[in-house]
Structure 1
Amino acid sequence: MQRLTEQILAHAKGLPEGTPVAAKSLLHLGNRAAVDQALSRLAERTQLIRAGRGVYLLPVTSRFGTRAPSVEQAVEALASQRGETIVPSGAAAANTLGLTTQVPVRSVYLTSGRTRKMSLGKQVVELRHAPRWQLAMAHRPAGEAVRALAWLGPEKAGAALQTLKRKLPPGAFSELVAVAPQLPTWLARSLGKAAHG
């Protein structure tokens, strides 16, 4: 059994930093019960970090000790592994775009998958299921603007859109206007006013 834990550790070390190790991807090494037990054992010994149900990460070792991989890397790797769209929350997008000075305290991401929490060392990352329209144009400035506007809400959308019209590159604002039919009525209406007003 010792050999299985060594094989799993060797497999994890061969992956890029922050790539989650899931029991399903290790079934070529042994049966599910043995793999689960080995993963659990590695987590107890702190050789792996248990990030969530069935998801483990290899800690990053440096001359200063060990730490959990960066949140961005872990989330990106999880998205590609699970085939999900995962993007920063509307609060983070609004902050990035300069629409608010509030800095989100918690790490919250929106996902096309189910709502869940992921632990990265002492930090807890919340993955919240979001409607498809909030995940549109996932990693583009226009998509970031959609999430920021959704977070700001109908009352603040008009003023925020005027700011975005000045800040976003012309192509990104046009992209935002083009996606209006997919958005909720209040947001599509605000976008129409900002584009033609």
Structure 2
Amino acid sequence: MERMAESIMNVATTLPEGVPLAAKGLLHLGSRAAVDQTLSRLAARGELIRAGRGIYMRPVQTRFGPRSPSAEQAIEALAVQRGETIVPSGAAAANALGLTTQVPVKSVYLTSGRSRVLNLGRQAVELRHAPRWQLALGSKTSGQAVRALAWLGPDEAPKALQILRSKLTETAKIELMSAAPQFPTWLARLVGEMLHG
């Protein structure tokens, strides 16, 4: 078992900060049960952080001691590894676009995968499954606009669109228009009004 622990840590040290170590990616070292057991033991010893079911990360060593990887890097790496689209929530998008001054208290991301929580040290990051239309434009500004408007809802969105009209580039407006057929009716109508009204 110690040899497997050493092998797992050798793999972990080759990964950039925040890149998850998935049990499934270590099956060349032994059986799933042996890999899971070794990962659990490494997490208990503090050599790895258990971020979620079957997801482990190497703590980042600093001169002040170990710390968890940044949420942004971990989310980005997880998206690539799992083949998911993962983007900041509508509340975060609305804040980034200046549509609200509320700063989200919790780290929430929308995902094409299943809903779950990642534990990165003291920070819990919630991944919420979202409908495809909210993820269609990804991390582009137009995608942020869609998520912000969806979060604001049909009552608040028209006011926000007035602000967005001057902030969005022509390219972003065209992207919104192209994706509009996927949106709920109320949002598709608003996007049409913004561009042609």
Give, in whole Å, the separation in 2 of the partners of 1:103 and 1:173: 25
Residue 44 of structure 1 corresponds to 44
Residue 96 of structure 1 corresponds to 96
Alignment of 1:4-15 (within 5 A): 4-15=4-15
Kindly, what percent of the aligned residue pairs are identical? 68
Please state how far the C-alpha of 1:64 moved relative to its aligned partner: 1.2
With the length of structure 2 as denominator, give the TM-score of the two structures.
Answer: 0.98
SS at 2:165's partner residue? helix
Unmatched 5+ stretches in structure 1: none
Cα pair 1:90 1:147 within 8 Å, conserved? yes
Residue 113 of structure 2 corresponds to 113
Cα pair 1:95 1:101 within 8 Å, conserved? yes
Residue 80 of structure 1 corresponds to 80
Number of aligned residues? 197
Give, in whole Å, the separation in 1 of the partners of 2:174 and 2:191: 10
SS at 2:73's partner residue? helix
Unmatched 5+ stretches in structure 2: none
Residue 70 of structure 1 corresponds to 70
Please state how far the C-alpha of 1:89 moved relative to its aligned partner: 0.2
Give, in whole Å, the separation in 1 of the partners of 2:173 and 2:102: 23
| Aligned-pair Cα RMSD in Å | 0.7
Give, in whole Å, the separation in 2 of the partners of 1:140 and 1:191: 16
2:193 pairs with 1:193? yes
Structure 1 ranges of 4+ moved more than 3 A: none
Please state how far the C-alpha of 1:178 moved relative to its aligned partner: 2.0
Please state how far the C-alpha of 1:117 moved relative to its aligned partner: 0.5
Residue 139 of structure 1 corresponds to 139
Alignment of 1:19-34 (within 5 A): 19-34=19-34
With the length of structure 1 as denominator, give the TM-score of the two structures.
Answer: 0.98
The one-letter code matched in structure 2 to 1:60 is V
Please state how far the C-alpha of 1:137 moved relative to its aligned partner: 1.1
The one-letter code matched in structure 1 to 2:167 is K
Cα pair 1:164 1:173 within 8 Å, conserved? no
Alignment of 1:108-187 (within 5 A): 108-187=108-187
Residues 118-151 of structure 1 deviation map (CA, whole Å, 9 limit, x = unaligned)? 1000110000000000001102110110000000
Give, in whole Å, the separation in 1 of the partners of 2:170 and 2:65: 46
